Structure 1
Amino acid sequence: MADGSLEPEAFERMLADLRPKLHRYCARMVGSAIEGEDVVQDAMVKAAQAFPAAGDIGRPDAWLFRIAHNTALDALRSRKRRPTAELTVEPAGPADAAESRVAVASSLAVLMALPVSQRAAVVLMDVLGHSNDEAVEILGVTAAAAKAALHRGRERLKTLKSEPAAPRLDPTERSRLQAYADRFNARDFDALRALLAEEVRLDLAGRLRLDGKAPVSVYFTRYSESHDWWSQPGLVDGRPALLISDPADPGRITYVVLLDWQDGEIARIRDYRYATYVLESMDLTRL
């Protein structure tokens, strides 16, 4: 804590240790593993800014989850949701009840059908294993309200079934993604540098952010110095992406890279090489 019981170094370690768990929560709150990582990043910046003046923080982990929860709520308020998978309501049977925890842990689309309060309670207590008392502290509600939200969320989940649409990719976009992957694998990094927009942004999740063509160009230099990767085109939560695997084990995806294009140039690169925990919440499709 800022009063000396939690030193800055210990605080930094706590941020790093809790980041995967925070992502599991935020991804399920906003319905996207990609946007969930953005929320986690914003929450950690807010926590780092608030820490020096925070005083005596009784439970640092709950304090950090509270910040992440509020940041996720801000994200939900400030953006328009993309269409999610179609959901149908069907009567719950014994198998549905027995498998409800599996649905909670694996289906972002189903969770997004719950009201925010129920979704938060279910994710905190059923997915992440927090106690009711801990959920009360994180959510800022009464014990009765937390229990009621959990119960209603569990009951609602038993009636929901996700029927996601088959992912599709425009042929032109697919061709562009394949060309990028081919150049990446061929280590033709000069050709990729030439595709960078002047105002390009690099988000190397968990490590750094860079803006501008010259600084981001170094990103490819770092890749030229390593040999533990091979890329292939794919979809991540329905978005075009590079699926990266180790050449020694090509069947296992180790991390992903997302590309945003504007006017034929690369406007943003999001590389999750150092944030592999996001894979747990992602829907991956090989092309």
Structure 2
Amino acid sequence: MATSRLPISTAATSTSVETLLEPFRTELTGYCYRMLGSAFEAEDAVQDTFLRAWRSFERFEGRSALRTWLYRIATNVCLTMLSSVQRRVRPMDLGPAGSGTATSAGEPRPEEIWVGPVPDSRVLPEGSDPAEVVASRESVRLAFVAALQHLPPKQRAVLILREVLAWSAQEVAELLDTTVASVNSALQRARATLAAADTGGDAYQPLDDEQKTLLARYVRAFEAYDLTALTALLHEDATLSMPPVPLWLRGHDDILAWMTGTGSGCRGSRLLPVAANGLPAFGQYRPNLDGPGFHPWALILLETSAGRIARVNNFLDTDHLFPLFGLPDRLA
């Protein structure tokens, strides 16, 4: 962790406070996203963090690094936000898998209950070290962020600061105003909880030939709506989910039955690639039945493992998600 001190006596007069804070936006958004499980709440939390830092900047005397001070503020903002909301979940957390022959995916649930996707550009600082890039992608994978939501908020903060950001136990103890023994105890309990959760899967490596081939085959099969070819790319126990509706499916038979029946409106869709949660992702556009072109239908995130697709996550709230990812509101 950076420990350099800010030359506070000259900084405030040589540049604006906003200019000093802005370089930390991406990493703080990544931290808040892991804590909160929502891209929109993470950005709100960072804005609140910057506002509090701006208001109290004159009282910041440079006794700690500016980065440490901002993380302290961001942690307090997140802990306050988490004290008044329910834990965010994935459809798999709400009940058993449904049937592919269901005629409806169920009534949509409020956005506030779901672990949502986030653009890589909002949470992953640019870096030239390939190992660091892969590690950063691992730490925002959907399965990992969802597993973090099972931890009590302070345990969550401890685990992220220690395991993801590589802070020392002493640094975390100082940030949380607690003892090193308490930090180590919280970390041990958090590790035990995560060990029991399903956080597996591969981080996206765009230059990996095997992954490129898999994704190219997926796009061809989906756009052609070749369900035989598409199913062949899935693990036998692959899952399909569609937040904000609660229905989720497991296995070839139910996924195939759904896509053949109720989900058959996806036939003829087009896919645009995006980068989300360190995973391969696509904006899906379905044919417009009322005229020419295609309209937004879902943001698809694929979780892969051992050369096949393990989870297909279809996020249907395109009104909010497509602008977030810079996707157009229609395709010609």
Equivalent residue number for residue 41 of structure 1: 47
Residue 137 of structure 1 deviates from its aligned partner by 2.6
Residue 54 of structure 1 deviates from its aligned partner by 2.8
Compared with structure 1, are the counterparts of its residues 169 and 144 closer, same or farther at alpha carbon in structure 2 (3 Å cutoff)? closer
- The Cα offsets for residues 80-119 of structure 1, whole Å up to 9 and x where unpaired, read as 445444459xxxxxxxxxxxx9875422211111122221
1:1-287 superposed matches below 5 A:
3-4=8-9, 6-7=11-12, 9=15, 11-87=17-93, 105-106=140-141, 107-161=144-198, 166-168=241-243, 232-235=296-299, 238-241=315-318, 257-258=322-323, 271=324
CA distance in 1, matches of 2:43, 2:239: 22
Residue 74 of structure 1 deviates from its aligned partner by 1.2
CA distance in 2, matches of 1:45, 1:239: 32
Contact 2:169 2:180 in 1 (8 A): yes
SS of the residue 2:56 aligns to: helix
- The Cα offsets for residues 165-191 of structure 1, whole Å up to 9 and x where unpaired, read as 6015689xx9xx979x99xx99xxxxx
CA distance in 2, matches of 1:74, 1:164: 34
Compared with structure 1, are the counterparts of its residues 5 and 122 closer, same or farther at alpha carbon in structure 2 (3 Å cutoff)? farther
Compared with structure 1, are the counterparts of its residues 2 and 54 closer, same or farther at alpha carbon in structure 2 (3 Å cutoff)? farther
Q: TM-score, normalised by structure 2?
A: 0.46
Contact 2:91 2:243 in 1 (8 A): no
CA distance in 2, matches of 1:72, 1:147: 21
Compared with structure 1, are the counterparts of its residues 13 and 132 closer, same or farther at alpha carbon in structure 2 (3 Å cutoff)? farther
How many positions carry a matched residue from both structures? 188
CA distance in 1, matches of 2:77, 2:42: 10
CA distance in 1, matches of 2:189, 2:137: 17
Compared with structure 1, are the counterparts of its residues 169 and 125 closer, same or farther at alpha carbon in structure 2 (3 Å cutoff)? closer
Residue 57 of structure 1 deviates from its aligned partner by 4.0
CA distance in 2, matches of 1:64, 1:58: 10
Select the structure that is richer in strand.
1
Compared with structure 1, are the counterparts of its residues 81 and 115 closer, same or farther at alpha carbon in structure 2 (3 Å cutoff)? closer
Compared with structure 1, are the counterparts of its residues 20 and 71 closer, same or farther at alpha carbon in structure 2 (3 Å cutoff)? same
Residue 158 of structure 1 deviates from its aligned partner by 0.9
Residue 134 of structure 1 deviates from its aligned partner by 2.3
Contact 2:297 2:316 in 1 (8 A): no
- The Cα offsets for residues 113-167 of structure 1, whole Å up to 9 and x where unpaired, read as 1122221111112112222232223222211111221222112211112697601
Q: TM-score, normalised by structure 1?
A: 0.53
Q: Read off the aligned partner of 1:144 and give its amino acid letter.
A: A
CA distance in 2, matches of 1:272, 1:45: 25
Contact 1:121 1:149 in 2 (8 A): yes
CA distance in 2, matches of 1:56, 1:168: 45
Equivalent residue number for residue 202 of structure 2: none
Q: Read off the aligned partner of 2:9 and give its amino acid letter.
A: G
Q: Read off the aligned partner of 1:235 and give its amino acid letter.
A: L
Structure 1 regions of 5+ residues with no counterpart?
89-100, 187-229, 244-255, 259-270, 274-287
